[in-house]
Structure 1
């Protein structure tokens, strides 16, 4: 039950009858939105101004004509016109009450499955597996996971594919480190830890050596030696291949506990090495189809416009082509990405491929997608779901090469510690003013710390519009006030506490919901927010923007706070009102739990 869709469906025939250009009707419908000011109504139709201009009529007159043309319905109170032609819309109390009872018995809380299910492949996370994960890997991982969850919730088939970097220079670093600086006893006892140490140690040696540029190239003797080890690996050197095969299980084991703590489950983890045997065929096929060309001894593909700039002047005007085979015969990341497109398209036959990768890769993916369409995959909807950078407190982008980047495991440990510290501070403050406070066991404290800490990190990231940069601040992330994970988790626990205190089973509210009584405006506002859940889920997936869910959660939490202060539940004036309010409380807990689960965040029953 999408309220916005219902309201727009009431307006659609009237708009279609009045609009001189039927192609503009979807845009006119899009101008019907939730009201920005609750005093003006629940929703607002702002389409009369544009329609009035097209018709050469006063917007107020057009607005009145639209209202007159609306069909009789049990959804809306009589609409009113305000200002230059705004149509204010308010839902009928009886409709709200009936709709609340309907979502109470629905496990999906009114979210209907999509009428046109598609198959999605989502490229997410994509770390280089030879080194520890750091905060720079966070955004792709959790934004991608949230999109997987939301799309599946709507009934789409989704394949999450973690395109691992398991064949690049990072393995040259490990090979060099293993051959020159390994501790055999440490490697035997704990290969994961020893490989992590070797990677950091060699990077440290390179950092103090001369000649390294930002890309790790140049005349740096350490990095030159590492690149030589990588070249031998790619050439099939038996010793390096054997070591690579030895390292891989340990490298993958570095990832497992972090993904588990982040509550991220990825369907496939096909790395660069998986596609390596396919690369020569990719180049040969593109040459045969004349969609790749030889240039100065290399093989290149056109830019997104289909142009291969030849002269220096053309190169200044046009986006560059991309190399898929170098002059020395080596392949590139572009070649691997094209092989990946081919494999995904032919194996999973997706309608849509989403690449959750940072904004700096925009030109790369623009070229990849254009070439994939030329290659025969024009029916696939390719989307670069790009995101902004994570900044340090100095508002500069984290740089792994300059050091100072926090490893993800350390970050999650710090978040859990801070989460527990703030939880205990809040508990002590509430205890000091006479509130009854839950006294958890040590095991329960550890669970609360982990759920609150990890949730804080994920929620803080996901609450940002993915296209913007944001400042990473662990103290703010773990805050318990405002739009934070801890606040939502506490709101959920507070709802569950009411049922424990009253010794009330929630089952009957989900199978045979009582009549809803709306006797206070706080009840009405809360009911309206609960009913908006389906439209928020639809909006979040329309442009792949999970932050809309966190905005919605904040609105629900504020509405619930107003309800909690003004509407006694267990001490309501009548049994009927008590049951009605208990139903609202149960729905608040269910909506929070479901919405926060779509973000990959957990809750605890008691806090």
Structure 2
């Protein structure tokens, strides 16, 4: 299905052509002066130089050719050469009918269905999720859902930090605390216990303790490095202990991610790439790309077009240890060979841009990916408190993500309880949890990913303004009207949209018409904030129409049914949008 603006632009192009000018000058945009017109075309300004003619003369010529247009009810030329346009109510209505009947409201499937891997840049195991993990989870989940809606095959990988020194630190501290465990007995040949010798709470306390000790005690750090080497070399006991660490951590992570309604198809980590590193290193050496520099193995990635310094990518340190770049490159090999990826999208803090530029360039130069493979890095800004600094607890520490979710849910429960005395506590808490998730996700996603933003609980949980709860309140309002319509003994099936009766109704209809173009744009640009901006405008358009129209009191049955059809479509589009953003709406609130 063609996009609404494409159809209008085609009609405008015919007007230019009929007047003796190039059809491509007829590109139409939404008016930036809605008080004057609905759409505008600036083609006459662009054509003035080519045709050696005043823009207003060209605009007048074109406007004259559009007097009998099937699309425009008004096309007027205004100085110095703009074309102000209004679209016929009948044209808007017919487009919406086609959109309502189309699959996915007219969003076309991709010309080529891609296999896309979304790397959420996951957390380190043995550590609790904190607020710093929120953005990668929320943005990554939405990007995954947007691409799936478009029709691509999308694989989400949490990509855990489960390898390296942190593992050695945990094992060293466990050995100091419980030296009697069989994992540390080199003569032990039996089966290791199936149950982990620690809880997730103990594990979360062990790591920071071990990390602190290693900074103060060189011998302790040396022991941790030795434990890391033994683990990575395949020590049987250490590997069994490591599997316990992973199992306990992942079980806890799944619970926390579930509270965010975030799901992964793969629970892979850096450890999965480790067996591929020797082959990768040999490949880089044999191709002549990798060379030794100050004892380390590096690959030059500088390009002539670089405007700032671009250091070589370090593949192996002087002691032979691999780095994040090595692991990421080995993971690319895995994703190309086993998942046959066409596109790799990485979520990470925007301060890691240099790392990804280096990794992507090595991958391209070494032929780890095809020339057509898309490598995309979505760098996100920080989530800050009201003081403009990274979000902290009142005590100044990094806040655990589960505590942030709990605080939001409690605030929403307080608001729901105050406004709805007819709800049981159980139902009020259930509704509060749904609204709370919208507050968190919309609060994050409504900002462009690369920008820092202020996490303001008071604003994000408000039922007014550009917030998740406001969007949900709008959906629930529509649900309520549709339910009351059915209570009157009328059906929501086989409803027919009618031409707009007033300005606010037409504005709502026009807003709906731009859904498929917006969704395509959000997908192409990996930009969930565009969906947020769209549904905020759509919710505003609906609420203006609602306040000006007595829908359920309307006696003209045909007119009323047309309005109900419009409400039903608005609800379905809003629900589709919030689903790809990663949250849902309750039936009442």
TM over 0.5: yes
Deviation sequence 1:189-227 (CA, Å, 0-9, x none): 972232123235445x45xx976xxxxxxx777666545
Taking the aligned partners of 1:224 and 1:265, their CA distance within structure 2 comes to 38
State the secondary structure of the residue aligned to 1:84.
Answer: coil
Equivalent position to 1:266, from 260, 264, 267: 264
CA contact (8 A) 1:549 1:595 kept: yes
Offset, 1:264: 1.5
Answer whether contact 1:110 1:531 (CA < 8 A) is retained: no
Partner of 1:360: 351
Contact 2:120 2:346 in 1 (8 A): yes
1: distance between equivalents of 2:286 and 2:547? 72
Q: Show CA shifts across 1:443-485 (max 9, x none).
A: 3222111111122111100000112111122232222211111
Shift of 1:557: 1.2
Q: CA deviation at 1:13?
A: 6.5
The question of whether the paired residues in 1 share the 8 Å contact of 2:302 and 2:311 is answered with no
RMSD: 3.2
The match for 2:247 among 245, 249, 271 is 249
Aligned runs of 1:25-104 on 2, under 5 Å?
32-67=28-63, 74-104=70-100
Q: Is the 8 A contact 2:4 2:514 kept in 1?
A: yes
CA distance in 2, matches of 1:248, 1:182: 19
Which range is displaced more, 267-276 or 120-129? 120-129
Q: Classify 1:36/1:182 alpha carbon distance in 2 versus 1 (closer, same or farther; 3 Å).
A: farther
Inter-partner Cα distance in structure 1 for 2:284 and 2:304: 14
- Secondary structure of residue in 1 paired with 2:572: helix
Distance change in 2, residues 1:61/1:368 (3 Å): farther
What residue in structure 2 maps to residue 407 of structure 1? Answer: 400
Change (3 A) 1:420 1:320: same
1:3-42 deviation per Cα after TM superposition (whole angstroms, max 9, x unaligned): 12222333456779999999xx6xx67x632222322322
**Which residue of structure 1 lines up, in the alignment, with residue 287 of structure 2?**
289
What secondary structure, in the 3-state scheme, does the structure 1 residue paired with 2:348 have?
coil
State how 1:98-497 maps to structure 2 within 5 Å: 98-106=94-102, 108-181=104-177, 191-202=199-210, 205=212, 226-305=224-303, 318-376=309-367, 377=369, 378-397=371-390, 404-427=397-420, 439-497=422-480
Q: How far 1:228 moved relative to its partner?
A: 4.7
SS at match of 1:120: strand
Counterpart-to-counterpart distance in 1, 2:489 and 2:272: 50
**Residues of 2 paired with 1:531 and 1:586: CA distance?**
14
Q: Kindly tell me: are residues 264 and 16 of structure 1, through their superposed partners in 2, closer, same or farther at Cα, counting changes over 3 Å?
A: farther
Cα offsets for 1:308-342 (capped at 9, x unmatched): 9xxxxxxx973110110111111111111111111
Q: Matched residue pairs, number?
A: 571
- The separation in 2 between residues aligned to 1:263 and 1:583, in whole angstroms, is 31
Q: Is the 8 A contact 2:157 2:266 kept in 1?
A: yes
Q: Distance in 2 between matches of 1:15 and 1:365?
A: 47
TM-score (norm 1): 0.86
Note closer, same or farther for the CA distance 1:263–1:535 as it changes in structure 2 (3 Å cut). Answer: same
Q: Which residue number corresponds to residue 191 of structure 2?
A: none
Q: Taking structure 1 as reference, are residues 583 and 597 closer, same or farther at Cα in structure 2, changes over 3 Å only? A: same
The answer for unaligned runs of 5 or more in structure 2 is 182-194
Superposed displacement of residue 379, structure 1: 2.0
Distance between the aligned counterparts of 1:10 and 1:116, measured in 2?
A: 29
Question: CA–CA distance in 2 between the matches of 1:384 and 1:54?
Answer: 41
- Return the offset for 1:299: 0.9
Is 1:74–1:95's contact at 8 Å kept on the other side of the alignment? Answer: yes
Give secondary structure in 2 for the equivalent of 1:269: coil
Q: Deviations over 1:119-167 (max 9, x none)?
A: 3222124211221111111111111111111111111222222221110
Q: Determine which of 495, 498, 514 is the counterpart of 2:496.
A: 514
Deviation at 1:275, TM superposition (A): 0.6
Q: Deviations over 1:551-596 (max 9, x none)?
A: 1111111111111111111101411111111112212211211111
Distance in structure 2 (CA, Å) of the matches to 1:491 and 1:42: 24
For residue 376 of structure 2, give the secondary structure of its aligned residue in structure 1: strand
**Aligned partner of residue 486 in structure 2, secondary structure:** coil
In 1: Cα distance, 2:489 partner to 2:257 partner:
33
Judging changes above 3 Å, is the alpha-carbon distance between structure 1 residues 146 and 16 closer, same or farther for their aligned structure 2 residues?
A: farther
Query: Matched residues in 1 for 2:18 and 2:302: separation?
Result: 41
- Cα distance in 1 for partners of 2:66, 2:305 equals 53
Structure 1: state its 5+ residue gaps.
Answer: 212-218, 309-315, 429-438
Flag the 1:385–1:70 CA change in 2: closer, same or farther, 3 A: farther
Q: 1:75 to 1:306 in 2, by over 3 A?
A: same
Contact 1:351 1:380 in 2 (8 A): yes
The answer on 1:503 being equivalent to 2:486 is yes
Structure 1 residues 279 and 582 mapped into 2: Cα distance closer, same or farther (>3 Å)? same
1:61 and 1:387, CA in 2 relative to 1: closer, same or farther beyond 3 A? farther
Is the contact between residue 451 and residue 603 of structure 1 (CA under 8 Å) also seen in structure 2? yes
Query: Structure 1 599/63 Cα, relative in aligned 2: closer, same or farther at 3 Å?
Result: same
Residues 1:122 and 1:63: Cα distance change in structure 2 (over 3 Å): farther
Q: 1:489 to 1:236 in 2, by over 3 A?
A: same
| Alpha-carbon contact 1:499-1:505 (below 8 Å) kept | no
Residues 522 and 567 in structure 1, CA contact (< 8 A), matched pair in contact too: no
Does structure 1 retain, via aligned residues, the 8 Å contact 2:299–2:314? yes
2:539 is the counterpart of 1:557: yes
Per-residue deviation, 1:182:
7.0
